[in-house]
Amino acid sequence: MSRHLYKPMLAKVAADAFTDKDWIFEIKWDGFRAIAYIEEPFSLRSRSGKELKSNFPELTELKRLSSNIVVDGEIIVMREGTPDFQSLLERGQAVSASEIQRQSTRMPATYIVFDILEKDGEGLTNLPLMERKALLKDSLREGAYVLLCDYIEDKGEAYFKLVLEKGLEGVMAKRKDSRYEEGLRTGSWLKIKKLKTCDCVIFGYTRGEQAREQTFGALLLGLYDVNGKPVYVGKVGTGFTQQMLRILMDKFEKIQTDIEPFKPDSGDQVTWLEPKLVCEVAYQVLTRDMRLRMARFKRLRDDKLPSECTLDQITENKKMSQTKNNPQRGDVNERLAEYMSKRSFGETPEPKGGEEKPEKLIFVIQEHRSRRLHFDLRLENNGVLKSWAIPKGMPENTKERRLAVETEDHPYEYASFEGEIPKGQYGAGTVKIWDKGHYTPKVWEDDKIEFTLDGQRLKGRFVLVRLKKAEDQKDWLLLKGKDEHA
């Protein structure tokens, strides 16, 4: 065997596809990352170093297709034309020789090879990617269970669209001149997926109710900061099959602990777990207080170590094509992802965003006649307009309390928008500016925002207070504050 056990090079997350002549683009396969040592003795190792060859005996075909090389790739199981991770998971968990043989016949694995790290004892990791690609093509034949990963150059946006149409989860973008940097996530490789995803450590679970009484309600998720301290990033309670619920409870029974790594949400009855299990979750947006919003369970990650689950997965999920020239623009595009996804800009006159803004903070209140008349309060914050829908309008005195429902962030340019949103579009109806001007924030916290308006109609202090018991924490109370001179 090669004297050196390689650590897979890792990829950062990019928020959107892009086109660039200096990059190539490959399919992002939903499988087990594995490095194959095609030498004597043959070895097939996971990201964590686990030996996989006994679980995938069909992949010993590699020994007939080449010799004296080390390659990197992804093990997948195809079902109905797309990778099926659940079937792959079953393959990885099989123990008995008879079951492994039965599964390899019923749902055979395929090894998609995309890089070569060593040939005839000579390391190749310092060569540029395109040189390694050429060597790989010359060094490894394809077989019944082994394929070379195709790629295209330059046209990442078109390729990403095509990949999604085929039902696949995304693409990998790689710089043509990138070296193979073991175990590092440098930004020379990027993963681009339709949904944002994050690999999290399972630190505990809440008590289940009704149909979930025998299992759990939600998993408590955490990531590690730069100092190795666990940081709570929210809960996930959807996306589980009955089989997965049973699998998880069997695992949980063996790793319960009394150690409380962080403070849970008030009211939660938590069973804490040793940080040994990793799961992948999909989520819509990241809140200001670093919570994964609209999280959904995707799968267990037996191939990933808990120590690899770090905060930079979510803090670096920014739009690459914008951040090259304007680092803060990537943050803005990340916050506007929900707004952009809800609109078809070929149909609606609403603004896309992108203009420069003055330094003085602005606000706008828009009268919105959609299915029901309501008013939208928007306060500029970090380059976007934080937005609330107010069904009964702004409070006029200190005794009035109005419900304010938090909505998606809007671009700065929306402050000057008036017009008709066509039928069939999100928020269809008429939008008119009711009041606008500047504002001064006094307090801006996760659960309380206090500010003074200086508008054409409204002047004075207002307070937004989050309702703690609100579903998904979108509901706030809006109050008229006492003016400082009163």
Per-residue pLDDT of 177-227, as tens digits, reads: 999 999 888 889 999 887 778 999 999 999 988 888 889 999 999 999 878
Tokens of 374: 């309501």
Structure confidence at residue 268 as a pLDDT band (50, 70, 90): confident
The DSSP line for 409-478 is: EEEGGGGG--EEEPTTSTT-EEEEEEEEEEEEEEEE-SSEEEEEEEESS-EEEEEEEE-TTSGGG-EEEE
Residue 342 — φ and ψ, nearest 5°? -90, -5
Tokens of 246: 């049973």
Per-residue pLDDT of 288-312, as tens digits, reads: 667 887 788 999 998 889 999 998 8
Provide the pLDDT for residue 333. Answer: 57
Residue percentage of the chain with pLDDT more than 70 = 89
Angle between the N-to-C axes of helices 97-106 and 85-93, in degrees from 0 to 180, rounded to the nearest 10: 160
Provide the pLDDT for residue 341. Answer: 59
Tokens of 437: 């001007």
Provide the pLDDT for residue 288. Answer: 60
In the predicted structure, residue 318 carries a pLDDT above the cut 50: no
Domain ranges in the chain?
A: 12-194, 197-315, 349-480
Which distant-in-sequence residues (6+ apart) come within 8 Å of 486 by Cβ?
none
> Is the overall model pTM greater than 0.85, yes or no?
no
Q: Is residue 337 within 8 Å of residue 322, measured between CB atoms?
A: no
Provide the pLDDT for residue 128. Answer: 97
Average pLDDT of the chain, as a whole number:
87
Domain 197-315 has CATH 2.40.50.140: yes
Which distant-in-sequence residues (6+ apart) come within 8 Å of 314 by Cβ?
196, 198, 223, 233, 286, 290, 292
Q: Is residue 368 within 8 Å of residue 441, measured between CB atoms?
A: no
Provide the pLDDT for residue 306. Answer: 94
Q: Is residue 135 within 8 Å of residue 122, measured between CB atoms?
A: no
The DSSP letter of residue 251 is H
Provide the pLDDT for residue 451. Answer: 94
Domain 12-194 has CATH 3.40.190.10: no
In 3D space, the residue among 102, 112, 114, 110 whose CA is nearest the CA of residue 145 turns out to be 110
Tokens of 17: 């596809």
In 3D space, the residue among 179, 197, 224, 194 whose CA is nearest the CA of residue 286 turns out to be 197
As a whole number, mean pLDDT of residues 469-477 equals: 72
Per-residue pLDDT of 97-130, as tens digits, reads: 999 999 999 999 999 999 999 999 999 999 999 9
Does 315 or 34 have the greater pLDDT score?
A: 34
**To 5 degrees, how large is the angle CA 459–CA 350–CA 155?**
135
For residue 340, which amino acid is it? Answer: M
What's the helix, strand, coil split of the chain in %, to 5?
20, 40, 40
Q: Which of 28, 174, 193, 436 is catalytic?
A: 28
Beta strands in 43-108 (DSSP E): 43-46, 69-79, 82-83
State the Cα–Cα distance between residues 307 and 255, nearest whole angstrom.
17
Provide the pLDDT for residue 346. Answer: 64
The DSSP line for 109-177 is: EEEEEEEEEEETTEE-TTS-HHHHHHHHHHH----SSEEEPP-EEE-HHHHHHHHHHTT--EEEEEETT
In the predicted structure, residue 329 carries a pLDDT above the cut 90: no
In the predicted structure, residue 86 carries a pLDDT above the cut 80: no
Per-residue pLDDT of 455-469, as tens digits, reads: 999 999 999 999 876
HSE, side-chain direction, 13 A CA sphere, residue 176: 11
Provide the pLDDT for residue 12. Answer: 87
Helix (H/G/I), strand (E/B), else coil: 17? coil
Provide the pLDDT for residue 406. Answer: 92
Is 28 noted as a catalytic residue in this protein? Answer: yes
As a whole number, mean pLDDT of residues 371-385 equals: 91
Strands 82-83 and 69-79, bridge-based pairing: antiparallel
In the predicted structure, residue 54 carries a pLDDT above the cut 90: yes
Provide the pLDDT for residue 77. Answer: 93
Does 218 or 336 have the greater pLDDT score?
A: 218
In 3D space, the residue among 39, 276, 48 whose CA is nearest the CA of residue 139 turns out to be 39
In the predicted structure, residue 287 carries a pLDDT above the cut 80: no
